[in-house]
Structure 1
Amino acid sequence: MLKKQTVWLLTMLSLMIVLSVYYMTSPDEGEVAFVDEDEQNQAENVNSSTENGTMTNGSVDYEGKEEVTSSLTSDQWFTAARLTIEQNRSERKEYLQEVMASGDVSAEEVNKAMNEINQLQEYSNKETLLEQTIAAKAEYPDVLVRAEDNQVRVTVKANELSKADTVEIMQLVYNEFGETNVMVNFQPYEENQ
């Protein structure tokens, strides 16, 4: 088991690498990418209409208008997102392990902490399996699956996403995670990357 200092050091080094890559590739003129909060909130809302291409029990904007916008390249975005998810889960697991090791908590709280650690590990395993399955089925260069509470977000590295692809991805998520809210979007990239 890794010590706190080791986890902290690895987290900081990972963050330093991501930030270094970001600053090395960012524009020199001080340009900054801003995300419009209204657009971000709209992307996160769960829609239930099928008329405009969104699917019941998910917030998929099928019409291909849903894109993840970022000043990072597509590869950098996927790497940074994975590092952030991993860092957040590591911090949460560390906290839960401290709760379990503490002598001041009840057996019920220890069981809750242990169940949450198991759930985080289960999510991680399912996400990895689902990423590999989706990437293999449609030959996407990269896929990121994030499961949190009752929602699964899938981001594929693609310049467009058809309705059939979206439905297939949603079905794969349902097969792995059961009935849950699913949000599918894509991260455009240049073909020569």
Structure 2
Amino acid sequence: MNTKRQTIWLISMLSLMVVLSAYYLFTQDIGGKDKVTDATNLQNVAEVSTPEGKDATAVSGTNEDGSKYTISALDQEVLEQLKAENYFEGGMFSELLTKREQQYEVENNRINSVIADVSVDEETSIAAVAELEQLEGKMEKVTQLENDLMQTYEVVFVSEELNDKYKVVVTSDVLEKKQAAEIIDQVITVMDVRPEQVSVQFIPNP
């Protein structure tokens, strides 16, 4: 529990650092028209923000407020990597990971409840199985996309937004518009979506 409180305190301190860093970034001359620092600068190319785990066991527990949380082995590995590389930008990555896990868990539970319901007709049950396969396939594609992008960027996170939109968060020293366009192309190819469904957020390396 002490370790958890220390982690929360560290994330809070980093949050303050991020605010100050953001102020510095947006009040300085970036000195180049082709360099971008956030999603807003990439609107002309789109809407312009992990390696497989070795253990399939999820990590779960209870927060101090009594709420439950569950973190998959894959995201736990990513969290450990982010901790090691000091990329907990105000808890941003941990929040994104938690949000993704919660979304997946809610959908997975909903679909499995339909599959397990003996009162539903065969057609509904078959449709639920197909939906579950689609959900699992989507998560596999997200993992593949993150792994591919991590060949170029130190830390990558892909999150699904509303209306089947995807947000890609990458860390790098700089991010050129050409690089952002390449990221968008990869997302379009892997996730089978349109350019307007993809956004890219850049976070400077610490």
Report 1:1-193 matches (<5 A): 21-27=7-13, 53-55=42-44, 58-60=46-48, 73-74=88-89, 76-136=91-151, 138=152, 140-147=153-160, 149-180=163-194, 181-190=197-206
Q: Which runs of 5+ in 2 are unaligned?
A: 20-37, 50-86
Query: TM-score of the superposition, structure 2-length normalised?
Result: 0.57
Runs of 4+ with deviation above 4 angstroms: 17-20
SS of match in other structure, 2:134: helix
Contact map agreement 2:88 2:94 (CA 8 A) in 1: no
SS class of match (1:179): coil
Gaps of 5+ in 1: 1-12, 34-42, 62-71
Which has the larger strand fraction?
A: 2
Q: Over aligned residues, Cα RMSD in angstroms?
A: 3.5
Q: 1:25 to 1:185 in 2, by over 3 A?
A: closer
Count of paired positions: 145
Distance 1:176 1:144 in 2: 15
Per the TM alignment, residue 19 of structure 1 is displaced from its structure 2 partner at its CA by 7.3
**CA 1:99–1:132: 2 relative to 1, 3 Å:** same
Contact kept, 8 Å, 1:18 with 1:80, in 2: the verdict is no
Q: Percent identity?
A: 23
> Is the 1:152–1:182 contact (alpha carbons within 8 Å) kept by the matching residues of 2?
yes
Q: Is the 8 A contact 1:170 1:184 kept in 2?
A: yes
Question: Matched residues in 2 for 1:97 and 1:60: separation?
Answer: 35
Between 1 and 2, higher relative CO (CA 8 Å, sep ≥ 6) is seen in 2
- Measure the CA separation in 1 of the matches of 2:181 and 2:4: 33
